[in-house]
Structure 1
Amino acid sequence: MCDVGDPAQVDAAVGAVIDKYGRCDILVNNAAVFPFTDLHHVTVELWRAVQAVNVEAILLFARAFAPGMRAAGWGRIVNAGSGITATQNRDLAYLTSKGTVHALTRALANELGESGVTVNAIAPGLVAAEGFLGRDRAGRPSAEEVPARITAMQTIRCRSVPADLAGALAFLVSDDAGFVTGQILHVDGGMTRTGA
């Protein structure tokens, strides 16, 4: 268990992986926090906490594991982006962080591509996962209203579950995806078919 918002815990987790396995070949950055913020209510402390977990942790893990991937001439980094955009949601800190994740994914792909390391992101819609469902939204739409609104924008009109992302992830970390890098793969039931 690791609080990725704490650089010291990230360092400890990296050390444990290196001690046990020598290096990391496949890195999946999937930790995120999703507080419901708007311009009026967001605090600097909350803003920084969201960026620390959703963005900074990706940088820290990539920086720690990239040398081993480069030395091996092979590596896969997959980041959790988001298919939910500002046209569909008003969660200021979260949306900003995920836009940054997409940009960081492309920047890392630029830097690591020549060494045999690919860097991509999966951009899901709203996934029915424990971290989101049933939360107290403090005056915002209920935990059932938001999924219904997102699902209505999809061409595949059912709620996404974590297993829906597994095939895309398996592809991106495989040798079959060796010529795929810097991409944001939308796995969102067709929600982003008109842009984004």
Structure 2
Amino acid sequence: MPTITTNDLKTGITLELDNGLFQVVEFQHVKPGKGGAFVRTKLRNIKSGNVFDRTFNAGIKVEQAIINRDDMQFLYRDGDDYVFMNNTTYEQLNVQPVALGDTADYLVEGMTAQVAFFNDEIIGVEIPASVELTIVDTEPGLQGDRKTGATKPATLETGKVVHVPLFVEAGEKIRVDTRTGDYMTRV
């Protein structure tokens, strides 16, 4: 396990601390007029997703966790689990829903995702910032009302419900932002 100092922290680095794995969301080096320098961080718990603040003295050593990522294809659901296949070895893995989090709302069969591993344990699944999904159910569209910004709920092929403009119809493909869950555009 590589050891780094708090002076080397960067956004996105994963740390192994006493109580688990944490990803650095934000960091700020602070040098007050009196006293020693310190590093103020926002850390996200990899397992629970909770974000909290933690302050470290400048220069102390912390353990950097080495995260391996493999491109894998989502094949199908098996009960509650999601089955992924490694694109190079063709090995299949069952991923529990807790490791997916909100990513499960955007997975369709055949989609490629990056599966993150720490010590051979799956800790997360990353997908592109936007995906194209088909609307399976929504109210009939209205033509002409494009200026008011009015929206209506639409159910996607994955079961996720997003708000779309009134002119979008069932059966159309749309692009959705996977970070916010917002409609972006028709495809």
On whether the aligned pair clears a TM of 0.5, the verdict is no
Q: What TM-score comes out, normalization by structure 2 length?
A: 0.23
Flag the structure with larger Rg: 2
Q: What TM-score comes out, normalization by structure 1 length?
A: 0.23
Q: Which has the higher contact order (CA 8 A, sep 6+)?
A: 1
